């Protein structure tokens, strides 16, 4: 399952399929692909010209505590936008104007904020070759008539049973249930010919992690140019990447398997793949097992890559890496 829009990359070792997935009905796949394409067309924000976005969010911790924050964006085409994010002691103001960027932050971006930015204004996707469509059924989802696509996805020896539900009237994405992740989009509102969710909830293994309330409004007329003044008093150039080659793993060993019978456990590590192919500044992005975090960080610090090649030059790339623990 390919997810979009992509605000960071997710890297995991490739597995060869041990056998071909069972055949699927061609017409059924055409119907499923069409439904998801319609959902993308109904909400993909790239079709918006100028808009104002206001978001409040709540991040639920494992100990029952809740972190609250806000996110605002003013977007003016062509090429101007201003973001401001606050969560606890963290505060960021970032302005992009054409090929220039200026930002000021109170510290490193927390993983909760990175995760939030991936979800806004909506989380979309498309099917790929690992997905086998099983059925398309009518259902009621979040109080709306829906068409739900049930499909299997195979990664190595792991077979996932997944489901995506699309609003039968508006073509919007109501439910995304892939692996352990469940995302619910509700209270859609219209903006400039599109539909965006006013309420988003994200669960992992049935546990609520993130709640989002958002509203967007189209901007009529030009925005005051002073609004896009550089917050740090200076501009940096955005590097335009041509002839891009993504990082390629040279040595990405996984932890030794255990015998606990717990199945696969994925720990996501955020870090930088540097120009020399090493991983630096690694930190835990998401972990269902905190007792495995130190081992994951130490292992990722040994990984080696052919780095991102951008315009024939090796450059640093920030993103997420997945460490697979089996039966630990």
Per-residue pLDDT tens digits for 101-148 = 999 999 989 999 998 998 899 988 889 888 899 999 999 999 999 999
Q: Which of 202, 237, 272 is the last residue of a domain?
A: 237
Contact 17, 158 (CB under 8 A): no
11 found inside a domain? no
Whether residue 17 has pLDDT greater than 70: no
Same domain? 59 vs 189 = yes
Both 41 and 117 in one domain: the answer is: yes
Pairing of strands 173-178, 100-105: unpaired
Tell whether 185 and 263 lie within a shared domain: no
What are the tens digits of pLDDT across the range 34-69? 999 999 999 988 778 889 999 999 999 888 899 999
User: How many structural domains does the chain have?
Assistant: 2
Q: Given pLDDT bands bounded at 50, 70 and 90, which one contains residue 1?
A: low
Range with the largest mean pLDDT of 8-22, 126-140, 219-233, 292-306: 292-306
Q: Is residue 282 part of a domain?
A: yes
Give the domain extent around 196.
24-131+170-219+232-237
Residues 77 and 190 in one domain: yes
CATH number, domain with residue 80: 2.50.20
What does the pLDDT read at residue 259? 87
Q: Is residue 298 part of a domain?
A: yes
The answer on 289 and 192 residing in a single domain is: no
Question: Which pLDDT does position 177 carry in this prediction?
Answer: 95
Does residue 307 belong to any structural domain of this protein?
A: yes
Across residues 208-236, what is the average pLDDT? 92
Tens digit of pLDDT for each residue in 204-216? 989 999 999 999 9
Give dist(CA 252, CA 305) in Å, integer: 8
Same domain as 45, residue 95 = yes
Same domain, 215 and 277: no
Residues 195 and 73 in one domain: yes
Do 269 and 211 lie in one domain? The reply is no
* Rounded CA separation 161/154 (Å): 9
Q: Are residues 180 and 64 in the same domain?
A: yes
- Residue 142 and residue 152 in contact, taking contact as beta carbons nearer than 8 Å: no
pLDDT attached to residue 254: 93
């Amino acid at each position: 399952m390919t997810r979009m829009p992509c605000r960071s990359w997710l890297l995991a070792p490739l597995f060869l399929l041990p056998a071909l997935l069972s055949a699927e009905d061609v017409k059924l796949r055409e119907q499923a692909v069409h439904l998801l394409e319609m959902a993308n067309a109904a909400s993909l924000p790239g079709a918006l010209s100028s808009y104002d976005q206001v978001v409040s969010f709540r991040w639920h911790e494992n100990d029952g505590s809740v972190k609250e924050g806000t996110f605002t964006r003013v977007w003016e085409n062509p090429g101007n936008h201003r973001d401001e994010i606050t969560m606890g002691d963290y505060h960021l103001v970032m302005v992009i104007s054409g090929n220039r960027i200026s930002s000021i932050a109170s510290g490193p971006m927390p993983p909760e904020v990175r995760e939030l930015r991936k979800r806004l204004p909506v989380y979309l996707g498309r099917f790929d070759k690992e997905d086998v469509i099983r059925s398309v059924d009518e259902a009621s989802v979040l109080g709306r008539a829906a068409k739900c696509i049930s499909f299997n996805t195979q990664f190595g020896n792991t077979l996932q049973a997944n489901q995506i539900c699309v609003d039968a009237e508006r073509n919007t994405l109501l439910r995304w249930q892939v692996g352990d992740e469940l995302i619910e989009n509700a209270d859609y509102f219209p903006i400039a010919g599109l539909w965006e969710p006013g309420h988003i909830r994200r669960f992992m293994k049935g546990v609520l992690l993130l709640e989002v309330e958002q509203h967007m409004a189209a901007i009529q007329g030009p925005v005051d140019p002073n609004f896009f003044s550089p917050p740090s008093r200076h501009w940096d150039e955005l590097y335009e990447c041509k002839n891009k080659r993504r990082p390629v793993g040279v040595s990405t060993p996984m932890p030794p398997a255990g015998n606990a019978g717990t199945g696969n456990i994925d720990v996501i590590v955020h870090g930088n793949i540097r120009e020399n192919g090493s991983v630096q500044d690694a930190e835990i992005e998401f972990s269902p097992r905190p007792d495995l975090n130190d081992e994951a960080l130490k292992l990722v610090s040994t990984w080696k890559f052919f780095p991102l090649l951008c315009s024939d030059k090796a450059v640093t790339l920030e993103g997420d890496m997945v460490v697979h623990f089996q039966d630990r």
